[in-house]
Amino acid sequence: MASQTGRTTPRVSRRGLTLAVMATGVAALAACGSDTVTPPQPQSQVGVPVDWTLTTADTTKLETGVEGISTHGGTYAAYLHGKTIDASGSIQQRIDAAPFRGQRVRAAAWVTESFLTDAGAFAVGVDAPASRTQSVVSVPAPVGGSDNWHQVFVVFDVPANAVGLNVVGSISGSGQMFFDDIALTPVDTTVSVTTSTRVGGASDSLSLVALYAGAHATLLNADFEGGVTGH
């Protein structure tokens, strides 16, 4: 279900390196004189990525935000940091299913992991009356503690009566999980679908319409460049 391409970004140390990098830049500037300008390093921002929502049983065990030390593309990537081995939670965004109804869709995300004790996951739920399913690709803890950026994806069919899609990035256990550049793309029916499972109980149309009230027709802030809001 998951694929790793040759398009990877060399891994560097995580959020704890930010201040060290900035200090090095300041020292270099002082040594070279006022004619040398060192570009500022992007700093981590703690909070919930804009346009996404946080789901967790205990916010004291899970930290989320965006960080700029290691990204797949652009300036920032989203992170979930499990502080304890029993931490769990996700960032998610609900979107209107209208642009994808009656089509087969490939949802892809670039991910990387750092010292996970359990696993992360990327998933998309498809909510239709009397049929709520979820397609999930697990991101296991890497050998050696960390991994390069790689792309994972799920492929699923969107019923003609689907109300909405729920895009989810999650973590279980301690460690860090990073997400960047998420995209949903219609594909030909010759592309094999990912195994999906039914989730929750059947919902009627009115309940689903209420659940997705105000949802946008496209995934917003899919590259996590939009900053954060408070928990």
pLDDT score of 206: 87
Give a yes or no: residue 75 inside a domain. yes
Give a yes or no: residue 230 inside a domain. no
Domain that holds residue 209: 44-220
Q: Which residues of 141-166 are buried (b: 16+ CB within 10 A; e: fewer)?
A: bbeeebbbbbbbbbbbbbbeebbbbb
Give a yes or no: residue 2 inside a domain. no
pLDDT score of 85: 96
Q: Is 176 helix (H, G, I), strand (E, B) or coil?
A: strand
Which tokens belong to 179?
């997400």
Q: Are residues 37 and 49 in the same domain?
A: no
Give a yes or no: residue 8 inside a domain. no
Return d(Cα 44, Cα 63) in angstroms, integer. Answer: 12
pLDDT score of 53: 97
Query: Model confidence over 123-143: pLDDT tens digits?
Result: 999 999 988 899 999 998 876
Give a yes or no: residue 227 inside a domain. no
At a CB cut-off of 8 Å and minimum separation 6, what does 110 contact? 72, 73, 149, 150, 151, 179, 180, 181, 182
Q: Are residues 109 and 186 in the same domain?
A: yes
Below-70 pLDDT ranges, the chain: 1-42, 143-144, 200-202, 231
Q: Are residues 169 and 104 in the same domain?
A: yes
Pairing between β-strand 48-49 and β-strand 228-229 as defined by DSSP bridges: antiparallel
Q: What is the Cα 88 distance to its own chain's centre?
A: 14
